Amino acid sequence: MDKPSVEELEGAESRLNRAFIMAAVAVVLSLATGVWWQTATDRGAAWTVFIVTRLFLLAAYVWFALAIGRVAKYLVPSPRKYVAWVLAAPFLALIPIPIVSTVIALSPLSLKFFFSRQLQNEIKERVLAD
């Protein structure tokens, strides 16, 4: 496989940043919904809000997984394990273990920082080589 161009790397980084922001917003919204759930009086509306926010969270994580997969494809030999973790984490976070489930839910977001640093280094190397 040919090495990706600087433009491809920058495009992948841009998509990763947008997907990360959306996933972070979805996580905050999901956590806020959990807090709101405790005080909601109309359980029908509460279930609707809960389901909508969970679907939004799932969609955001799928988008984030696709962005991680694209970046990982450029940087590591086996990107599938990163994509699998991003997709599995929201479901594993449903296991009712206090604090640990929140850490599991948030852990895929840390991949953004891991891959962003590698991507920036790769872009700098390519620019300096040209």
The predicted model gives 45-61 an average pLDDT of 90
Residue 1 above 70 pLDDT? no
State the pLDDT at residue 107: 84
The residues spanned by each domain of the chain are 6-129
User: Alpha-carbon distance 73 to 104, whole Å?
Assistant: 23
- Residue 88 CB-half CA count within 13 A: 6
Q: CA-to-CA distance for 25 and 40, rounded, in angstroms? A: 21
What is the C-alpha to C-alpha distance for residues 122 and 48, in angstroms, rounded to an integer?
Answer: 44
Average pLDDT of the residues in 5-32: 92
For the whole model, what pTM was predicted?
A: 0.82
Q: What is the pLDDT at residue 71? A: 93
Give the separation between CA 6 and CA 85, rounded to whole angstroms. 27
| Distance of alpha carbon 8 from alpha carbon 19, whole angstroms | 16
Between 34 and 32, the higher pLDDT residue: 32
